[in-house]
Amino acid sequence: MTRSGCTVVAAFVVSAGVLAGSVIAGRERRQAPPLGLDAYLPTPEENAITAEKTRLGERLFFDTKLSADTSISCATCHQPSRAFTDGRPRSRGVFGRVTVRNTPSVLNAGYGAAFFWDGRIATLEEQVLQPIIATEEMGATLDDVVRRLRSDTGYRAAFRDALGEPPSAETIGKALATFVRTRRSAASPMDRYLDGDQSAADAQAIAGLRIFQGRARCVECHHGPLLTDGGFHNTGVGWGGADPGRARVTGEEADRGRFKTPSLRNVALTAPYMHDGSLATLEDVVEFYARGGNANPLLDTRIRPLDLSSADKRALIAYLRALTSIEYARPPSFF
């Protein structure tokens, strides 16, 4: 993405009221979250949300200085217009490298407790630094990035204002985490329907909700405000490939093939799907679960063939499309 393109996107991010976070200059001010989300947003005491920190984190998020060859930024893969994903099966990093996994959205990531598809990182402050140093992603070193930022007078001032310290791995992590944490997105048609607005969702989507929570049992793993249990499950996606999933973190064979349950908010915007981006459309995803996933010895016992008619599947997809947040209901030309 070009720098000017980043600026346009950044303007969108800040201008969209729902996404703009809930801070005022210099101190934290809690505002009501978008409809459908919890007021409680886990935030470390040592990294309270401030406007200055959020702005600094936003600037870093869109800055290509954070990559080894200054060719990409966080926003290259986490594009706001695509609900902070990139539309590719697997992400592309510096020097044309391709990662092994699909880009997850950062929207509402602040509510999470384990990050990356395998849950290997426990805090957002730590997570946001990992793509910077990952060889197949931004491929930089933190020392290099810190040096670049310290040589920039604007950044020095911004870090001083926001964190009272010069750029460092810790302060970069805090600022980026604050920006990501304040990307809250909800108020979808389904949220409005569940809040009592009977006209917010159509009959097919409402039927899909019932199938989702009933016969299809999607709710077993996709529940709560983010429609995820935050857990790790083996659905058979990518089984037999090189990626061991959660087992790489725990060392437990039983965790082989398990990956984190993704949030379904804005899922209509985040194709392709699954941790390896192997399913191109929502239709493919519904068909995948309807047939009971991919058989393997460690398949989650909750994954079983579903008796779904074509109408049921269409209803499920209508429900999933009704999970698109209010800011993404704007005309595409807005982007």
| 49, 174 contact by CB (below 8 A) | no
Amino acid at 115: F
Contact call for residue 33 and another protein (CB under 8 A): yes
Stretch that binds another protein, among 141-149, 205-213, 273-281, 285-293 (CB under 8 A): 205-213
Stretch that binds another protein, among 95-103, 163-171, 208-216, 270-278 (CB under 8 A): 208-216
Cα 269 to the center of its chain, rounded Å: 11
Contact call for residue 180 and another protein (CB under 8 A): no
Measure the CA angle with vertex 107, ends 116 and 198; round to 5°.
130
The secondary structure of 74-112 as a DSSP string is HHHHSBGGGTSB-SSSS-B-GGG-B-SSPPPP-TTGGG-
Contact call for residue 43 and another protein (CB under 8 A): yes
> What is the rounded distance in angstroms from the CA atom of residue 317 to the CA atom of residue 305?
17
Residue 69 CB, nearest distance to another protein (Å)? 40
> What is the rounded distance in angstroms from the CA atom of residue 190 to the CA atom of residue 218?
16
Count of residues near another protein by CB under 8 A? 30
Contact call for residue 196 and another protein (CB under 8 A): yes
* Radius of gyration of the chain, Cα coordinates, nearest whole angstrom: 20
> What is the rounded distance in angstroms from the CA atom of residue 285 to the CA atom of residue 212?
13
Query: Parallel, antiparallel, or unpaired: how do β-strands 27-28 and 258-260 relate?
Result: unpaired
Contact call for residue 305 and another protein (CB under 8 A): no
Residue 30 vs residues 17, 35, 55, 82, 125: alpha-carbon distances, Å = 14, 14, 17, 27, 20
Residue 208 CB, nearest distance to another protein (Å)? 12
Q: Which of 302, 309, 329, 334 binds another protein (CB under 8 A)?
A: 302
Q: Which of 193, 239, 259, 328 binds another protein (CB under 8 A)?
A: 193
**Of the two residues 49 and 138, which places its CB atom closer to another protein in the complex?**
49
Burial code (b: 16+ CB inside 10 Å, e: under 16) for 13-46 equals beebebbbbbbeeeeeeeeebbbbbeeebebeee
Question: Quick one: tokens of 79?
Answer: 């594009």
What 3-state class would DSSP assign to 150?
helix
Residue 148 CB, nearest distance to another protein (Å)? 34
Q: Which of 209, 267, 282, 322 binds another protein (CB under 8 A)?
A: 209
**Of the two residues 36 and 236, which places its CB atom closer to another protein in the complex?**
36
Per-position x/- string for 213-252, each x denoting binding to another protein as judged by CB under 8 A, each - no binding: xx--x-xx--xxx---x-----------------------
Q: Which of 88, 210, 291, 314 binds another protein (CB under 8 A)?
A: 210
Query: Parallel, antiparallel, or unpaired: how do β-strands 23-24 and 27-28 relate?
Result: antiparallel
Contact call for residue 277 and another protein (CB under 8 A): no
Per-position x/- string for 75-114, each x denoting binding to another protein as judged by CB under 8 A, each - no binding: ----------------------------------------
**Of the two residues 163 and 201, which places its CB atom closer to another protein in the complex?**
201
Which parts of this chain interact with another protein (CB under 8 A)?
28, 30, 32-33, 36-43, 45, 193-196, 206, 209-210, 213-214, 217, 219-220, 223-225, 229, 302
